[in-house]
Amino acid sequence: MSLVTINKIEQGMVLGEDLKDRDDRFLLPSGTNLTARHIKMLKMWGVIEANIEGIAQEDVEDNAISKIDPATIEMAEKIVRGRFRYSNTDHPAIQVLFRFCTLQKAREMQSDNPKQNAEFHDRSENNVETIELPELKSAKIDFNKLIQRHILKLPTLPMIFSRINKTILKPDSSADEIGRIISKDTSLSARLLKIVNSAFYGFPSRIDSISRAVAIIGTKPLSSLASGVTVVDMFKNVPSDIVNMKSFWKHSIACGVNARLIASYQGIQNTERLFLSGLLHDIGRLVLYNYAPDHSAYALAKVKRTNVMLSKVEYEDLDFDHAEIGGLLLKKWKLPVLIEHAVTYHHSPQKSQYLLEAAIVHLADIMANAAGIGSSGECFVPPLDLDAWECMGLSTNILDLTIKQANHHIEEIFKFFCSNEN
Ligand SMILES: [Fe+2]
Ligand SMILES: [Fe+2]
């Protein structure tokens, strides 16, 4: 008997023990021979795994792998191992992600139209790109000077953003008041309504006005979403020769979607705060790409030549990394401290006084990098912090389930955030 992820459970499988939901409510007795209707209901109830008699998770995966040509699996595994070179592949969570990514890569290689995405370049041992390192015109960047020169001069968020925030902080502010402020910005309102009506939110009936959105979703979650839309709008057309902006925001949205899903497993009320933290986690890189382009181009080339992680190269060459810059920017914008900390410590969650939030964004980023959906410049899956993993108390079974769920929604959310139509 073994715990099997819900999306690998098939009809005819038999429950090895009583099945309960997340709130410990009894759902089905041990010995139930699962039908298609049972499985559909389990998915509706949000069950992520079940103990199945006479079967192990590995058997299900082996079955999936056995349908693919072994040479393709071997090639996919080599490429994925290159991306995971800084991860401990003995850790159960990383094992799940590694297997998932290998299978995904192998299926993609076998398809008629394999994606040639740069995120899945073969970075296995000794396979470095022989590209020239650009010449550095300026000496090492002084962190304080960069902050003084650029971060302090970075555009402030539009007036509407501070008005929403001020209203939320007022103890006597009403949902109506916030609804009225957001409604005045028709473009923002239209975008927010599209997002909250998407399949990702899955509300049973259509939300057709901001006042209704405030009532259903709540003031703080809706204002987090409004902040996300505002920030992406500010940065989405920033020209960058260094990074593909579409790829950057895909990675950011993937991290946000993963973080929101993990937060919901943790029973966190305001999951939008985690979505926003994930969405903005690498925003410091955009600051570096725009205000220190020479050093950024140098760092990215160095990563490709040496197969060293970008965050490490940033530290070696700059003495600071994108996470610190991002945190400073969010502080300047007076975003909630939980979001600022989650961004600042997404690569070092153990240093945050809010470990859980930082841990969720840390894991969400690892999953987004592992799945290879877009990239903020990093070529490798960042290593998993053990304390962060422990503090979340998650089952490894939610990992591939979350990535699959997220994959359904990323394109749609990306379109709402990044289209220029609004
Ligand atoms: Fe990062
Ligand atoms: Fe990232």
Residues 266, 172 share a domain: yes
Q: State pTM to two decimals.
A: 0.83
In a domain? residue 170: yes
Residues 181, 38 share a domain: no
Residues 199, 344 share a domain: yes
> From the CA of 52, how far away is ligand 2's center (Å)?
35
In a domain? residue 295: yes
In a domain? residue 113: no
Structural domain count of the chain: 2
Q: What residues sit around ligand 2, an ion, with C-beta below 5 angstroms?
A: 282, 365, 376
CA 50 to chain centre: 26
The reported pLDDT for the residue numbered 63 is 66
Give the up-direction half-sphere exposure of residue 376: CA atoms within 13 A in the CB hemisphere.
31
Q: Give the CATH number, domain containing residue 283.
A: 1.10.3210.10
> From the CA of 279, how far away is ligand 2's center (Å)?
9
Final residue of a structural domain among 20, 42, 58: 58
> From the CA of 32, how far away is ligand 1's center (Å)?
45
Q: What residues sit around ligand 1, an ion, with C-beta below 5 angstroms?
A: 282
In a domain? residue 67: no
The reported pLDDT for the residue numbered 3 is 74
Residues 192, 51 share a domain: no
In this structure, the number of other CB atoms found within 10 A of the CB of residue 359 comes to 27
> DSSP character for 90?
T
Structure tokens at 122: 């073969």
> From the CA of 43, how far away is ligand 1's center (Å)?
32
Residues 158, 44 share a domain: no
Q: Report whether 350 contacts 79 (CB < 8 A).
A: no
Helix, strand or coil, per DSSP, at residue 237 = coil
Which helix H or strand E contains 180, and what residues bound it? helix 175-184
Final residue of a structural domain among 13, 33, 58: 58
In a domain? residue 79: no
d(CA 222, CA 216): 9
Judged by its nearest atom, the ligand closest to the C-alpha of residue 376 is: 2
DSSP string, 288-313: HHHHSHHHHHHHHHHHHHH---HHHH
- Report CA torsion sign: 210, 212, 216, 218: positive
> From the CA of 284, how far away is ligand 1's center (Å)?
8
d(CA 248, CA 149): 24
In a domain? residue 120: no
Residues 389, 242 share a domain: yes
Give 10-residue mean pLDDT values along the chain (422 residues). Answer: 77 87 78 89 78 73 72 90 93 94 87 61 66 67 68 68 76 79 87 88 86 86 86 75 87 95 89 93 90 84 88 83 90 88 96 96 96 91 96 90 86 83 51
Task: List Cβ neighbours of 5 (8 Å cut-off, separation of 6 or more).
Answer: 48, 49, 57, 397, 400, 401
- Structural domain boundaries, residue 234: 143-418
The reported pLDDT for the residue numbered 331 is 87
In a domain? residue 340: yes
Judged by its nearest atom, the ligand closest to the C-alpha of residue 251 is: 2
Task: List Cβ neighbours of 260 (8 Å cut-off, separation of 6 or more).
Answer: 271, 272, 274, 275, 278
Final residue of a structural domain among 43, 58, 73: 58
Residues 314, 208 share a domain: yes
> From the CA of 63, how far away is ligand 2's center (Å)?
32
Residues 282, 175 share a domain: yes
In a domain? residue 376: yes
Q: Give the CATH number, domain containing residue 46.
A: 3.90.105.10
